[in-house]
């Protein structure tokens, strides 16, 4: 039923909770977990007064994505089949693009549960994926 499970990660604290859910499902269905981190190419700080050049931003984002992948893979059981991916772009678009491009049967992802102004200004990648994904999405509240 579920042969390939996508586990997007941004390296947030608490990603172990989402990894645990993905691992249980993967073990139950003998599935492969695909760990994906997206290098966010939207440099919100690129201006003469903000201080981050596009090159510095891109390098920092690539390093963050690599660390996020490593940490998430470490949270998964060693005997679980895992594949890792790094994409560049807008996180929600790249996650949904991965679902379209690869044989993914389910997405398991963490959510911070933001509300109010935080939700309005920051938004929720998980919410956007849930609303538009062609495959089931399991969201897991990340612990603080």
**pLDDT the model gives residue 120:** 42
Task: Indicate which CATH number applies to the domain containing 88.
Answer: 3.40.50.620
**pLDDT the model gives residue 58:** 85
C-alpha dist (Å) from residue 87 to 24, 37, 90, 117: 25, 7, 9, 29
pLDDT tens per residue across span 85-141: 999 999 999 999 999 999 999 999 988 655 444 444 345 788 889 999 999 999 998
Per-residue pLDDT band at 57 (split at 50, 70, 90): confident
Domain count, the chain: 1
- Residue 23: which domain range? 4-141
**pLDDT the model gives residue 1:** 86
């Amino acid at each position: 039923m579920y042969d390939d499970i996508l586990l997007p990660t941004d390296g947030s604290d608490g990603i172990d909770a989402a990894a645990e859910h993905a691992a249980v499902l993967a073990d139950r269905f003998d599935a492969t977990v695909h760990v994906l981190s997206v290098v966010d190419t939207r440099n919100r700080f690129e201006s003469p007064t903000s201080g981050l050049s596009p090159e510095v931003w891109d390098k920092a984002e690539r390093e963050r994505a690599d660390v996020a992948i490593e940490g998430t893979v470490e949270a998964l059981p060693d005997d679980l089949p895992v594949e890792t991916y790094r994409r560049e772009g807008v996180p929600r678009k790249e996650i949904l693009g991965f679902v379209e491009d690869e044989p993914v049967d389910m997405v398991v992802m963490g959510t911070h549960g933001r509300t109010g102004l935080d939700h309005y200004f920051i938004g929720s990648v998980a919410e956007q994926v849930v609303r538009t994904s062609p495959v089931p999405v399991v969201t897991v509240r990340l612990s603080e």
